[in-house]
Structure 1
Amino acid sequence: MTDTAQTAKVRLRVEGMDCASCATKIENALHRMPGVSDVVVSVPAGTVTITHGGRAGDDSIREQISDLGYRVTAREEIGVKHPNHDQGERTSSTQDETDTHIHGNAAAGQPWWQTRKGILTIASGLALAIAYLIGKFIPATERWAFLLAMMVGLIPIARRAISAARAGTPFSIEMLMSVAAVGAVIIGATEEAATVVFLFLIGELLEGVAASRARASIQNLTKLVPKTARLEENGQVSEIQADTLAVGATIQIRPGDRIPADGVILSGESAIDEAPVTGESTPVRKGPDENLFAGTVNGDGLLRVRVTAAAADNTIARVVRLVEEAQESKAPTERFIDRFSRFYTPGVVAVAALVAVVPPLLFGGAWSAWIYKGLAILLIGCPCALVISTPAAIAASLSAGARRGLLLKGGAVLEQIGKITVACFDKTGTLTAGKPQVTDIIGFACREVDVLRFAAALESGSSHPLATAILAKANEQQISAPPTSDSKAIGGKGIRATVEGQQIFLGSPKAVAELSPLTAEQEAKIAALNDEGKTVSIVVVENEIAGAIAMRDEPRPDALKGLKLLRDGGIRTIMLTGDNRRTANAVGKQLGIDVEAELLPEDKQRIVGKLKEAGWSVAKIGDGINDAPALAAADVGIAMGGGTDVALETADAAVLHGRVSDVAAMVDLSRRTMVNIRQNIAVALGLKAVFLVTTVIDLTGLWPAILADTGATVLVTLNALRLLQTAKN
């Protein structure tokens, strides 16, 4: 019989899930539930994403997680598929794609001493201190006092161990801890057992504090968006909640206010401080028709803005969402460590058992001494630090990158970017700004200012890129365009109009040559401009050549620096463009980059494929639209954009703020992350090796063993968090 139940996919936020062993327990337990088809756990984000067929309801999932010692604090419905509906359909909800329900998520902002881990650690510490005092004053009761103190912390740990074992994780850290503590009591080391339990709880608490700090680094981005906005309706302005703003609404933003939504400026001009979002220290001057990001700060002018994205879909919200999803994607190194740990932990248990049993049986050693050593090895061998070494570093890097507009979609991408040996760039909109600019104004028969004034008059009202460049130059030089009459566009040639009683024509050199012949000197000047990759328009006044205006799509301000940083890092750079060869060579010469020009999208894909076949590791950087085939073919596809849907969703990674140097920053971040991971693995395994030797030769015991595990875990996490502070601008 066919199961007609709908398939649901939900993301739960889970309190207390702070290390890789936590993730393993939850994943194993949920996979064993009927109807659950997929479970993805992200420790850095503190989320569990479950796909189930309806038989595993929310209540039973929450109960299973609760039995393991964790608490669900929020629920987000990602999507629901119905068997009789098209796969692309989504259920309706108040946020179109997601429906979120919060369940007492107070823990997110709680100080550590108010969390469940904090309260248990404090209780265990107080019990240990009281037991110590009782033992001093009433020595006969010392053993029982320490036994009771140990039980304060051990009972919750043992309950979690038993639940994990029932749910498919017999070799959990809690189980190893419980066995070690009970074993220590049996051989008479009760005081040490109580101390070890307390130290274990301290380690767990420190893990939680470090994990919370890592999560906060990306979640703090959402706090940049103000809670209220000034809505303009029917000539009246009222203050409303920013998260209720609808797409298309008009808002007013006063000088000094933080911008509450993504939008487009309708009127006004101001310097926008984008540092909170982009890391760019210099304010950017923006005016009508230019885009604004939520969370940036309006400088000195009153702005009227049309909202272009709802609160759930503004740039910051999308970046946070995509980073959290990226944290669920494991890097190759992380997957290897996960596989290794599955064999490593049972192996440690076997070694500990052999150490405890073989010397007394075969060599006449003292049972209590060797059992003690076996229990210490059991604690030393806990794999927490090793397993968290990679995801902690990757999560910190993803968060650090997102805070400065470097969006990397998962650990695999982050790891691969550092390995690239050749970077292939598109030209227009990637190496260049994608907007032509006036570079030269030449007066032949009249002043340069009049050449620009007449050209601006003819182009007024046009949205053509070349017209926009001329009008922008006139505005920059504060030149007012005079009125025109009898304006007429001549297809493929130019535009004609009457200005101040004179017949003015603006067009290409070829079209102008039909009206009035160019002198040899004028032709030479125009040819020289063309050789520099510039487009030339000629202004003709009453059939006399008055002057010329040259325009070019100029390289981005940081393009030269960005390409040099890549070359300094040992990465070859190539321009792949569909533009004409003369223009491409001019830009390539200016930037010092190899050029392949006049390419179709399939040509770019073919070149990327050939580079890969030759043994290069290829990154393709483009605008995410016409470069799609090459982006997909490359080892890493990087979209260059300003926070658009295409830039965020097309490629493996995205440079949200259009800086060429950010590609080099991605490579640098990847390489520093891999160094950090290697350091973490060395710390995790090195400390264990040292304490393993010192335990066998009787230099250290149980409590140093637990410090070896929890201490290594904390050191690894803190080392990973350094990546949050060292992202280069």
Structure 2
Amino acid sequence: MTGPVRESRYRVEGMDCASCAAKIDTAVRRVVGVEDVSVSVTAATMTVRHAENDAVVPAIMQRVAGLGYGLSPLAGEAAARSSASNEHACCGHAHPVSGDAQDHGHTHTHTHTHTQDVHSAHASDHSKPGAAANHERRSAPWWRTRKGRLTIACGVALAGAYGLGKLFPATEAWIFTLAMLVGLLPIARRAVMAALAGTPFSIEMLMTIAAAGAVFIGAGEEAAMVVFLFLIGELLEGIAAGKARASIEALTALVPKTALMEADGRMTEVPAESLPVGATILVRPGDRLAADGVILAGESGIDEAPVTGESAPVSKGPGDIVFAGTVNGDGALRLRVTAASADNTIARVIRLVEEAQEMKAPTERFIDRFSRRYTPAVALVAALVATVPPLFFGGLWQEWIYKGLALLLIGCPCALVISTPAAIAASLSAGARRGLLIKGGVVLESIGKVTAVAFDKTGTLTEGKPKVTDILGFDLSEAEVLGQAAALEQGSSHPLAQAILSRAEADGIALPAVSDIKALGGKGVSGRVAGAELFLGSPQEAGRRAPLTADEKAQVAALHDKGKTVSVLIAGGRAAGALAMRDEPRADAVTGVKALADSGLRVIMLTGDNRRTAEAIAGRLGIEARAELLPEDKQRIVGELKSEGYVVAKVGDGINDAPALAAADVGIAVGGGTDVALETADAASLHGRVTDIAAMVRLSRRTMRNIYQNIVIALGLKGVFLVTTIAGVTGLWPAILADTGATVLVTINALRLLRGPAKA
């Protein structure tokens, strides 16, 4: 295809199973001008890459409408583009949009601005009146949906047929046929449209042939019941699929509708979606945060569980980053908004999960290929069963046609095809609710196969900022050493200075007045306190100003051997004390690393830090370490691990060591909800916990077990009923139950992934 290409995203109403998605995919691909299609049954979305041609979108809308599904755009620009032309193009065709959505329109999203448009798409989907209505319709009770109404109508017709059949026995066959047509005609229409659109072996076609054949051989009552059971199965599929979608859509409700914005010295309540970047808002105690932002004033405990899964409130103060949808504790906060509503953490999480659900896993792709051959093969077997015994072995035509029709119903691949995407969608949603973002089924499968995990050190296994670990008092008390050192470091932004100041604040140390502060490049800092000359710096420079005793040198050396940075305080020409600092492991690092090791994974730390510090941290965590590495060294080591047969996951902050992240089988970014943590690598830990890596592995392995269970359920039931049908034990009713029942069982089994923590 030449010329400009656009990418449009739609919400598909009434699509509740994998065969629905396959029909839509096939039909839309046959539209002239369409380059690529991605349909997600679990997210109920469709993404289409197509030529920038005004005729393409109406053709897509008409084709999908003809199949019996509703289609509404997922981008806010649709209405603005041309509502009038949309009405002309979409509302006047011969086949109106079925389902509950009658909201026609289309969106054109240029490929190079896809990310921004999808953000706005999601926001508009829940903020504009039309989109809100769509959301309401998706949340409507089952009896108010199109499928629900059709099922009820068919059930009433069937019950009426039973009553009238008793009153007028002579017309019983005709009455049941009419009752059957109430449910079968919409099914047959969808079957014909699917066949014309390129899917001749759809479940609707198999159902239509089976029901019509049953009437032909005098089994009208059974045909009517089979149609009714089929509609019940479809309805149950829709309800189960809705539960899976609701798990991720519920995140949208976390963001409040309004916010208190500061303007001209006054607080005004405004819609949260209208907050511009840079605006200042007030968050009262107990309120949910309406936007991502940075705290300008106030301190409070923030409950981040809705976004990151963190169980305990996190203390936040000025300069700290906070997320939309989290809950403020007992302190009022003033925030500066850092992201528009369409681009806040919640919106990005939802977008990433929905996009991930559209990316098929290897197992899912295999099942899709298999099902395309499986269904025609079963149809052929059914035809042979119906004709060969009567033609060549003297069998009764009615008996073997009946068995052939039952095999047609057994042959539907719905349960098999949905077995993988249902589990993957539930798993991605469950992970997102716990702060684990996994970019699609391919990555989800790969994580479970990982056998070695390579961690960065700084900011990944460690906090990323040094802390004061030891205070030595030589000539002064420890409190005096800390107080005078902190006094010298006031106003400095150096990480070591910040560590000293943080420790002094935590210990409640009152800082003495200091004057004549001078930064001595590469050596330390000097000043005067109460007339006495002070110096804080490296042991070497301190030794030149005031010799250390052998015992003091030994204490400093012991701290160095533990990988700590030591600063010595000189006061009045004498060594007054020393402070040791180190970037300490995260609170959950030991637990997280142990969980990986217990799962049979090799854990290694790759760092550019000095060997002594690296070995000290690695020793505390019980893992091997490679130190003093350049980015290319880390990439080389990842390659070596892969050549040894390991499946390698590289875990880092998403910024540094890009070559190693790219070289690994799976790259996992660890961060605090930043763009980098969300947008880079194959997966991301929103909260940055080391234990999240083991949780991802457990979630992946649990998902794969669920998929294998689903495949066994789907094929096992079909195999059993295939044998019993040919043997004459079961007929049409059990056949349709084998199909719809297996589909419902598979979906319910997949939904178990939404509950509880992922366990190994």
TM-score (norm 2): 0.93
Which residue among 635, 654, 663 is the counterpart of 2:693? 663
1:481, CA displacement in angstroms?
2.2
In structure 1, give the amino acid aligned to 2:664. A
1:80, CA displacement in angstroms?
5.8
Which residue among 716, 720, 728 is the counterpart of 2:750? 720
Contact 1:628 1:650 in 2 (8 A): no
Task: Describe the superposition over 1:354-406 as per-residue Cα deviations: whole angstroms up to 9, x where unpaired.
Answer: 00000000111110010000000000110000000000000000000010011
Match of 2:70 in 1: 71
Name the CA shift for 1:49/1:591 in 2 (closer, same or farther; >3 Å). same
Match of 2:17 in 1: 19
* Superposition map of 1:104-503 within 5 A: 104-105=133-134, 106-503=136-533
Name the CA shift for 1:714/1:93 in 2 (closer, same or farther; >3 Å). closer
1:482, CA displacement in angstroms?
2.8
* Superposition map of 1:643-658 within 5 A: 643-658=673-688
Which whole-Å CA distance do the structure 2 matches of 1:92 and 1:600 have between them? 35
Which whole-Å CA distance do the structure 1 matches of 2:713 and 2:564 have between them? 57
Match of 1:10 in 2: 8
Match of 1:58 in 2: 57
The reply to whether residue 572 of structure 1 matches residue 602 of structure 2 is yes
Which whole-Å CA distance do the structure 2 matches of 1:378 and 1:672 have between them? 33
Q: Which runs of 5+ in 2 are unaligned?
A: 78-106
In structure 2, give the amino acid aligned to 1:679. Q
Which whole-Å CA distance do the structure 2 matches of 1:126 and 1:92 have between them? 49
Contact 2:487 2:512 in 1 (8 A): yes
Which whole-Å CA distance do the structure 2 matches of 1:500 and 1:349 have between them? 96
Contact 1:32 1:167 in 2 (8 A): yes
Task: Describe the superposition over 1:622-669 as per-residue Cα deviations: whole angstroms up to 9, x where unpaired.
Answer: 111112110110011111111111111221111111111110000000
Q: Secondary structure at the match of 1:435?
A: coil
In structure 2, give the amino acid aligned to 1:16. G
1:90, CA displacement in angstroms?
7.0
Task: Describe the superposition over 1:124-162 as per-residue Cα deviations: whole angstroms up to 9, x where unpaired.
Answer: 111111111111121122111111111111111001000
In structure 2, give the amino acid aligned to 1:69. G
The RMSD of aligned alpha carbons is 1.8
Q: Which runs of 5+ in 1 are unaligned?
A: none
1:63, CA displacement in angstroms?
1.3
Contact 1:27 1:39 in 2 (8 A): yes
Name the CA shift for 1:67/1:231 in 2 (closer, same or farther; >3 Å). same
Q: Secondary structure at the match of 1:389?
A: helix
Which whole-Å CA distance do the structure 2 matches of 1:430 and 1:518 have between them? 36
Contact 2:120 2:342 in 1 (8 A): no
Match of 2:83 in 1: none
Q: Secondary structure at the match of 2:545?
A: coil
Task: Describe the superposition over 1:165-218 as per-residue Cα deviations: whole angstroms up to 9, x where unpaired.
Answer: 000000001000000000000001001101011100110011111111001101
Which residue among 46, 49, 72 is the counterpart of 1:48? 46
Match of 2:718 in 1: 688
Q: Secondary structure at the match of 1:418?
A: helix
Contact 1:7 1:80 in 2 (8 A): no
Which whole-Å CA distance do the structure 2 matches of 1:470 and 1:180 have between them? 79
Which whole-Å CA distance do the structure 2 matches of 1:416 and 1:94 have between them? 27
Which whole-Å CA distance do the structure 1 matches of 2:265 and 2:511 have between them? 32
Match of 1:592 in 2: 622
Which whole-Å CA distance do the structure 2 matches of 1:353 and 1:488 have between them? 94
1:500, CA displacement in angstroms?
2.6
Match of 1:638 in 2: 668
Match of 2:644 in 1: 614
Contact 1:15 1:107 in 2 (8 A): no
Which whole-Å CA distance do the structure 2 matches of 1:486 and 1:42 have between them? 67
Which whole-Å CA distance do the structure 2 matches of 1:17 and 1:497 have between them? 73
Task: Describe the superposition over 1:463-488 as per-residue Cα deviations: whole angstroms up to 9, x where unpaired.
Answer: 21111111111111112323322111
Q: Secondary structure at the match of 2:466?
A: strand
Match of 1:32 in 2: 30
Match of 2:102 in 1: none
Which whole-Å CA distance do the structure 2 matches of 1:95 and 1:172 have between them? 35
Which whole-Å CA distance do the structure 1 matches of 2:741 and 2:733 have between them? 11
Task: Describe the superposition over 1:555-591 as per-residue Cα deviations: whole angstroms up to 9, x where unpaired.
Answer: 0111101111111111010001000000000001010
Q: Secondary structure at the match of 2:74?
A: strand
Contact 1:640 1:658 in 2 (8 A): yes
1:100, CA displacement in angstroms?
4.7
Name the CA shift for 1:89/1:693 in 2 (closer, same or farther; >3 Å). closer
TM-score (norm 1): 0.97
In structure 2, give the amino acid aligned to 1:226. P
Name the CA shift for 1:406/1:443 in 2 (closer, same or farther; >3 Å). same
Which whole-Å CA distance do the structure 1 matches of 2:730 and 2:177 have between them? 22
Which whole-Å CA distance do the structure 2 matches of 1:95 and 1:193 have between them? 48
Match of 2:538 in 1: 508
Which whole-Å CA distance do the structure 2 matches of 1:322 and 1:527 have between them? 50
The reply to whether residue 673 of structure 1 matches residue 703 of structure 2 is yes
Match of 1:522 in 2: 552
Q: Secondary structure at the match of 1:700?
A: coil
The reply to whether residue 625 of structure 1 matches residue 647 of structure 2 is no
Name the CA shift for 1:90/1:692 in 2 (closer, same or farther; >3 Å). closer
Contact 1:9 1:77 in 2 (8 A): no
Which whole-Å CA distance do the structure 2 matches of 1:728 and 1:253 have between them? 34
Contact 2:123 2:342 in 1 (8 A): no
Instruction: Point out the more displaced range, 135-144 or 359-368.
Output: 135-144
What's the % identity of the aligned pairs?
67
Q: Number of paired residues?
A: 723
Task: Describe the superposition over 1:308-347 as per-residue Cα deviations: whole angstroms up to 9, x where unpaired.
Answer: 1111111111011001000111111111100100110000
Instruction: Point out the more displaced range, 67-76 or 614-623.
Output: 67-76
Which whole-Å CA distance do the structure 2 matches of 1:425 and 1:91 have between them? 29
Instruction: Point out the more displaced range, 258-267 or 158-167.
Output: 258-267
Contact 2:589 2:690 in 1 (8 A): yes
1:77, CA displacement in angstroms?
7.1
Which whole-Å CA distance do the structure 1 matches of 2:236 and 2:517 have between them? 74
Contact 2:714 2:743 in 1 (8 A): yes
1:88, CA displacement in angstroms?
4.5
Q: Secondary structure at the match of 2:465?
A: strand
